Structure 1
């Protein structure tokens, strides 16, 4: 790719800076708002200048997925404790998707097979599972469940701010949502009204943890 002749907009133009800006736009506003013209404007260059670094928007999308998946970091866990290893993988997957909400759209719309993405997003995780004593078949099953569940949960939670327990206004958002459920017509929604206080936790973190723990318990019981 070309490296010379690019204008500067507070930084050197490079594939890395293009990916950084693209992720910032997509994470905040969605992939729908990501265009070559918008990326170029954010970088302070003309749209044609970007084509010295990327051939198309698809190439940018692939580079974004490569960057995020390749940078996946799973928390440390005792390899002698399979439950801890599986729990760490679930935490790592969900954390990655929270830091970059656009990866949910990317992973459900395209396949990324670069060496970098497979090293971080696939090889590194599977190696941890095998080291923990899971059979190859079970390692694949666990990877499949954990990453697809994290994808689904992250996609569901993201537009529901009352489920984000790390937000400083979480208590107020939960109060408002509880009031919304409780004020629905009881004759039409008797179940919702009756359990409004519990229902507000539907997209909350502890629901993710609950499902992961149920899965781990089932897996290890079957393994035994």
Structure 2
């Protein structure tokens, strides 16, 4: 007759088999609950009731894991809207930036993460398709994708750092006071454009920045 210890082990439900998709899904859930800093191989192994060494069969390191998390979230981007090609492109890029805004720690990691999964490739495909629809030459579009995504990523990362800073409001007030109090004799351009420098919502500035880049990509040939 089997003893109680043997019986309890046999009756214990079997753990689900590890898969890369399951590991990434668990990492996304963990990030949303505890933040990206907690998404380490050791913490993830604990969540999956396995050893860290088992995870390295599917994910080489934490950097690759974070890139996979970003790729998974990119699958949540909404379909391209109706309208002119450039406005649809601005909408897509704004959605990408907003996705990073919602996960500040991921926005910072995205500056160095190199996702290569299907959702990232789909995003690049969508951007290239919209640029092609607008008649942007292929080589310019190919280089332009990197510029557009970098702008969105850097904007989200910068804002996430500001949001996390206890001094952000004080620093903004200090900058506002310095610009508004600038001497017209010493800083004539700054004094003349002070209000414009401080104007506009974050959303308006982001959209304008994307339009500037799209226009520049369309009209700037690659170096010979």
| TM-score where L is the length of structure 1 | 0.62
- The change in CA–CA distance for 1:52 and 1:140 in structure 2 (over 3 A counts) is closer
User: How many residues end up aligned between the 2 structures?
Assistant: 196
- The change in CA–CA distance for 1:159 and 1:52 in structure 2 (over 3 A counts) is closer
CA distance in 2, matches of 1:185, 1:147: 28
| TM-score where L is the length of structure 2 | 0.62
- In the TM superposition, 1:91-170 aligns within 5 A as 91-114=94-117, 116-161=118-163
- 1:54–1:60 contact (8 Å) kept in structure 2: no
Structure with higher Rg: it is 2
- Over the residues paired in the alignment, what is the CA RMSD in angstroms? 4.3
- 1:71–1:120 contact (8 Å) kept in structure 2: no
Determine helix, strand or coil for the equivalent of 2:161. coil
2:4 matched to 1:16? no
Displacement, 1:214?
3.2
Residue of structure 1 equivalent to 2:45: 40
- 2:74–2:120 contact (8 Å) kept in structure 1: yes
Residue of structure 1 equivalent to 2:65: 60
Displacement, 1:146?
1.5
CA distance in 1, matches of 2:50, 2:212: 52
CA distance in 2, matches of 1:61, 1:181: 32
Which of structures 1 and 2 has the larger relative contact order (alpha carbons within 8 angstroms, sep 6+)?
2
CA distance in 2, matches of 1:52, 1:155: 28
- 1:112-143, Cα deviation, whole Å (9 max, x unpaired): 334x1453122232122213322213322432
**Which structure 1 residue ranges, 5 or more long, are not aligned?**
163-172
CA distance in 1, matches of 2:213, 2:175: 36
**Which structure 2 residue ranges, 5 or more long, are not aligned?**
1-12, 183-190
- The change in CA–CA distance for 1:130 and 1:46 in structure 2 (over 3 A counts) is same
- The change in CA–CA distance for 1:41 and 1:128 in structure 2 (over 3 A counts) is same
